[in-house]
Amino acid sequence: EAGVTQSPTHLIKTRGQQATLRCSPISGHTSVYWYQQALGLGLQFLLWYDEGEERNRGNFPPRFSGRQFPNYSSELNVNALELEDSALYLCASSLSSREYGYTFGSGTRLTVV
């Protein structure tokens, strides 16, 4: 069974540009979660999508947005990139009931220069 896959693995962008990160959940999982892991700041919750709808978002500005497609894959968009957006972005998926926990992908390393 394929795990949670994220692309690209690495992404280098210039300040002010836009970045798009992609996530494919485990087959059968309908919920997708996005987390940011910046150096020294731990894992911060960004967004939760379930059945195509945004269910909750963390304390991040509106330039962090995303969506979930009918096949439950998801993308995270970060507009007007700032240097402090440089981080490892992790995607996780789960069943709606969440009783089997969350499975994480390997992440996308975003570097803003």
The residue (of 18 and 27) whose beta carbon lies closer to other proteins is 27
Interior CA angle at 73 toward 21 and 55, to 5°?
90
> CB of residue 51 vs other proteins: minimum separation in angstroms?
12
The residue (of 18 and 96) whose beta carbon lies closer to other proteins is 96
> CB of residue 16 vs other proteins: minimum separation in angstroms?
26
> CB of residue 99 vs other proteins: minimum separation in angstroms?
7
Tokens of 48: 């939760």
The residue (of 16 and 38) whose beta carbon lies closer to other proteins is 38
> CB of residue 15 vs other proteins: minimum separation in angstroms?
23
Residues near other proteins (CB under 8 A) are 6, 31, 33, 42-43, 45, 48, 50, 55-56, 58, 88, 90, 92, 98-107, 109
The residue (of 49 and 78) whose beta carbon lies closer to other proteins is 49
31 touches 50 (CB < 8 A) = yes
